[in-house]
Amino acid sequence: MNHCKLLAPVLLLPIAALCPQDAPVGYSDTPHLPGGEWRVHDIARPVPATVTSGATVSAAPSDAIVLFDGGDLGRWTSRGGPARWKLVDGAMEVNGTGSIETREEFGDCQLHVEWAAPAEATGSSQGRGNSGLFLMGRYEIQVLDSFENRTYADGQAAALYGQRPPQVNACRPPGEWQTYDVVFRGPRFEGDELASPATVTLFHNGVLVHDGAELIGATTHRAVAKYSPHEAEGPLSLQDHGNPVRYRNIWVRRL
């Protein structure tokens, strides 16, 4: 008996959140994204071509705010208390204690993050090395082991989750360190109305995968994202999706 298939309809939670090993590789019953060509998490949306990246440079510049250098989690919080991810070999590792977020808040910024999926690749689709980088606590750049791991295009590594696939798949093998270099511009609101959407430029392992891409709203699952007005700054958050993904060398510059 598969308890996952029993539990999911009862709890109305995504199956992937409960049973990563059974994660689907896409959907054909979700609503259409703006433009109408593709559904959210569309199983039929073509996946990006794969490229192999070169070496990457990642040292923090002198004016950066270093959010994590391997020493401690003092700049991070979780569920109203201290962040409790595991510190190991100069990295921090997801350990089931919940997502973490920065104590300090940021809006427009340049951000550098390094991450590694578990060396032992287990699970499939969204169940393999899943985590995420949430800008302003709302807008997810997906972290996933997308090395020879098929999932829906708008949910693979470096995707703007549920919205836009990366231009190419620059994912390195599980266990290897990878870099995200982000230029983020937050949305602007005038009263309750959206004045301009958030944009993301992203280099994955030094390869451009989003070039000023517009977000259509706050990240959601199996639904079309939409904006809700919010403050000009919010925390950076790292997702605990139940897989022991590691992070190191995280720094940010306000823009």
Q: How many helices (H) and strands (E) does the chain have?
A: 2, 18
Q: How far is the CB of 134 from Mg ion (least distance, A)?
A: 9
Q: Which is nearer to Mg ion, 217 or 231 (CB)?
A: 217
Q: How far is the CB of 195 from Mg ion (least distance, A)?
A: 28
Judged by CB under 5 A, which stretch of 129-137, 179-187, 198-206, 244-252 contacts Mg ion? 129-137
Task: Tell me the one-letter amino acid at 2.
Answer: N
Q: Which is nearer to Mg ion, 45 or 253 (CB)?
A: 45
Decide if 255 contacts 183 (C-beta within 8 A): yes
Q: Which is nearer to Mg ion, 14 or 70 (CB)?
A: 14
* 132 lies in the site for Mg ion, by CB under 5 A: yes
Taking the alpha carbons at both ends of the chain, their separation in whole angstroms is 53
In the range 221-240, which residues lie near Mg ion by CB under 5 A? Answer: 239
Q: How far apart are CA 57 and CA 121, in angstroms?
A: 26
Q: How far is the CB of 219 from Mg ion (least distance, A)?
A: 9
Element (H, E) at 209: strand 207-214
Q: Which is nearer to Mg ion, 48 or 127 (CB)?
A: 127
Q: Where are the alpha helices (DSSP H) in the chain?
A: 3-11, 15-18
Question: Given the structure tokens 């073509």, which residue do they identify?
Answer: 46
242 Cβ partners below 8 Å, 6+ apart? 20, 94, 96, 130
Decide if 130 contacts 144 (C-beta within 8 A): yes
Q: Which is nearer to Mg ion, 132 or 187 (CB)?
A: 132
Q: Which residue is nearest to Mg ion (CB)?
A: 132
Q: How far is the CB of 155 from Mg ion (least distance, A)?
A: 8
Closest to 126 in 3D by CA, of 2, 255, 252, 239: 239
The two structure tokens encoding residue 255: 């823009």
Q: How far is the CB of 37 from Mg ion (least distance, A)?
A: 24
The one-character DSSP state at 173 is P
Size of the site for Mg ion (CB under 5 A): 3
Q: How far is the CB of 162 from Mg ion (least distance, A)?
A: 10
Q: Which is nearer to Mg ion, 132 or 166 (CB)?
A: 132
- Applying CB under 5 A, the residues found at the interface with Mg ion are 130, 132, 239
